[in-house]
Every structure is written in C-alpha cells, then in structure tokens.
C-alpha cells in the first residue's frame, strides 16, 4: 500500500473548515490518514476533531475509497470457497419501532444456497426480551441482529476463522466487529463519547471481509448517503444492492418496498422501483419488535404458517441473482418458492 507523509494538523485544517470551505482529501492521503487512525496513531483530540469535521463536511468518493482500502488492508479476512458470491450484510443499527427482520432474510438466502456473512457490534443483553447496549449506538429499546441470532440459535463466530467454518458448514455467520477489525471497533466507541455518527459508520457498509468478490447489501436512512454509496460501488466496480433500509438496517420495509438499486461492474440500475401504490393490505408481521415476537414470526414464516412479506421476497430475488445462485428473476423466484416449500415439508 502506498502511503503519504502525514501532517495531522494540516489535514484537520483542510477538512474542518465547515461545509462551505472544507477540502476533500485525495485518495492516497485519505488512505494514509485512516490507516494511521486504525493503528491508534492519531491522538484523541485530533481523532475527535476529524470525527466531527467529517460529520459536517461529508466524505467524497475518493475519501471513502481511501478509508475502505486502509480498513480492508488490515482487517482479519474470512476464508471462503463457493461457486457463488457471498452476500454481506452490515448490521449496526438494530430496530426499536418495528421488528428486525434482517436475520430472517439472511437465513432464507443461506437456505437457498448463498453464503451470507453479517457483521456488526457485539452486544450486552440487558434482558432476554428488551433492549441491548450496542457499542456504537444509542441503546434504548433497540433489538440487534446479534441478539436475534443468539435467541434463534443461529451461528455467531468468535473469530474470522470460525466465521469461515460456519459459512462452509451452515452457509451463514454473524461476525462481531471486534473480531473482524479491532481498529474499527475501537473507532466505533467514539460514538458514545461524541454523540454523533461519522465516517466509520459509512465505511462499515462498504467493507468486503473476503478475498473474493462479494455482493454488498447496504441500507441507509438518508437519501444523500444512498447516492454516495452507489458512487463508491460504481467507482470500485463492486456488486451491490443499495436501498433505503428499515431503521437503517439493510432489509426492505416489509410494508412497502423501497427502490432497489443495483451496482454491477461500474454501472448502476434501478432494479425494482418502490411500491408507491396505496396500501390496501397490511402484511402479517410480528406483533411487536421484541426478540420473542420476532423469533416466533421467523418460525411461522419458515414453517409456512405466515407468508414472507413481499418486499423481503423481492430483495431476496435480487440478491439471489446478484450472487450468481440464480440466472434471472424468474429462476430466483422459483428457487425461493421451492426453498420455502421445502422448509414446510
């Protein structure tokens, strides 16, 4: 990796001049800066200034490319051999207004034969059925993906090597950020001290922990970030599905499908437009967002007692196609239906 000499005070001066006058760093400078930050070579005061500056300024495409490049160069990669591209779900928000159905989507894709890796913060469970203390997020009432994985007895890895084993044996794994990249995990802890999200929360949506091409699934809350992520995926030629997530988690709103944008080989396409028709039928969903209700709903869908919400089915069709598991939408639909039918047998 190429590096450039760092003058931290000069870099802070360039990016911390406010929204109107701040400068974007070139790719190599951004990569060197983030590499130093990940290695713990940036003083706390400077790190706080950079964190806040980027929250105000926003990141350019080249800055994000540099940040991601530095992160991937030092992460603990996951070994995988598969005829299909693995699907990556970054899960850093959790949900507190509705059920977190990302584990259901991930499990269905895995049962369809696609390797699925999720990564996100480790959790400290405050009760079996309520809030968890996410290490990078305001905790009140949020239910994390890792918590549902634990309750549903889905595989959570202790390290990257075990994640590879779980993917080989079960097609599914959740890898805590601390095990994926300790430096990023340490940076995420600034969220608690500073009270705002920043660049690292975007970087985690762009990481590929594998040494092979993968399919990224990135969910965002704010529309400008949707454009920004797509621009990075196009610039890097990576395959991705980008959508307005449910409370920031990368799964489609089960009541109404958002726009599903795909990026493949540097091109961007609106794969499926949002459903903007009047909602005449409310889909069957968990009665509340707690872990127990979510797990019961997952059991009902997998057993055929409740239908899979159509927006999640549409998202699954897209990811089955992008992964190479299915050649087109029609074959993906047939394969998903067969998988659900097999589960009910």
212 and 68 in a common domain: no
For residue 234, how many other CB atoms are within 10 A of its CB? 17
Distances (CA, A) of 331 to 219, 223, 317, 326, 328: 25, 31, 9, 6, 6
CATH number at residue 15: 1.20.970.10
Q: Which two tokens stand for residue 37?
A: 């930050």
183 and 303 in a common domain: yes
Supply the range of the domain harboring residue 64.
Answer: 8-74
For residue 95, how many other CB atoms are within 10 A of its CB? 23
pLDDT at 133: 40
In a domain, 81, yes or no: no
Q: Which residues lie closer than 8 Å to 284 by C-beta, 6 or more apart?
A: 306, 307, 309
In a domain, 206, yes or no: yes
Phi, psi of 17 (to 5 degrees): -100, 20
CA–CA distance, 178 with 183 (Å, rounded to integer)? 8
136 and 63 in a common domain: no
Q: State which of 74, 98, 115 marks the end of a domain.
A: 74
CATH number at residue 172: 3.40.1030.10
Exposed, middle or buried: residue 193 (CB in 10 Å: 0-12, 13-18, 19+)? exposed
46 and 117 in a common domain: no
pLDDT at 3: 52
Overall number of domains in the chain: 2
In a domain, 300, yes or no: yes
In a domain, 79, yes or no: no
213 and 68 in a common domain: no
Q: State which of 41, 74, 107 marks the end of a domain.
A: 74
202 and 337 in a common domain: yes
Is residue 126 within 8 Å of 132, Cβ to Cβ? yes
255 and 311 in a common domain: yes
259 and 120 in a common domain: yes
108 and 35 in a common domain: no
On average, the pLDDT of the chain sits at: 90
111 and 56 in a common domain: no
Residue numbers in the chain where pLDDT is lower than 50: 1, 125-137, 139
pLDDT at 5: 62
193 and 92 in a common domain: yes
In a domain, 82, yes or no: no
188 and 53 in a common domain: no
Is residue 37 within 8 Å of 190, Cβ to Cβ? no
Distances (CA, A) of 103 to 80, 151, 297: 21, 11, 11
In a domain, 2, yes or no: no
pLDDT at 6: 81
b/e code 308-326 from CB counts within 10 Å (16+ = b): bbbbbbbbbbbbbbbbebb
Sign of CA dihedral 160, 89, 61, 185: negative
pLDDT at 344: 66
């Amino acid at each position: 990796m190429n590096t450039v000499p760092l003058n931290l005070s000069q870099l802070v001066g360039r990016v911390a001049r406010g929204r109107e006058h701040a400068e974007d760093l070139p790719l190599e400078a951004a990569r060197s800066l983030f590499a130093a930050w990940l290695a713990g070579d940036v003083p706390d005061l400077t790190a706080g200034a950079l964190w806040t500056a980027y929250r105000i300024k926003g990141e350019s495409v080249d800055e994000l490319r540099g940040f991601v490049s530095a992160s991937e160069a030092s992460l603990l990669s996951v070994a995988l051999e598969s005829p299909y591209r693995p699907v990556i779900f970054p899960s850093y928000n959790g949900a507190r207004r509705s059920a977190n159905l990302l584990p259901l989507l991930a499990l269905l894709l895995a049962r369809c034969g696609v390797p699925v890796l999720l990564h996100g913060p480790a959790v400290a469970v405050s009760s079996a059925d309520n809030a968890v203390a996410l290490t990078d997020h305001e905790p009140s009432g949020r239910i994390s993906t890792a918590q549902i994985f634990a309750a549903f007895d889905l595989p959570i890895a202790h390290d990257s090597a075990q994640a590879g084993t779980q993917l080989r044996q079960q097609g599914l794994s959740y890898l805590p950020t601390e095990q994926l990249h300790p430096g990023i995990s340490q940076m995420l802890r600034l969220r608690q001290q500073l009270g705002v999200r920043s660049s690292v929360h975007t970087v985690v949506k762009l990481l590929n922990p594998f040494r092979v091409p993968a399919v990224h699934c990135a969910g965002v809350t704010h529309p400008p970030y949707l454009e920004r992520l797509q621009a990075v995926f196009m610039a890097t030629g990576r395959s991705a599905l980008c959508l307005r997530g449910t409370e920031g988690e990368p799964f489609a709103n089960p009541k109404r499908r958002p726009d599903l944008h795909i990026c493949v080989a540097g091109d961007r396409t609106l794969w499926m437009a949002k459903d903007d028709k009047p909602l005449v039928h409310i889909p069957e969903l968990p009665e509340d967002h707690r872990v127990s209700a979510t797990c019961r709903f997952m059991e009902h869908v997998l057993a055929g007692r409740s239908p899979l919400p159509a927006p999640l089915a549409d998202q699954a069709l897209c990811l089955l196609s992008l992964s190479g598991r299915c050649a087109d939408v029609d074959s993906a639909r047939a394969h998903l239906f067969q998988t659900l039918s097999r589960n009910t047998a």
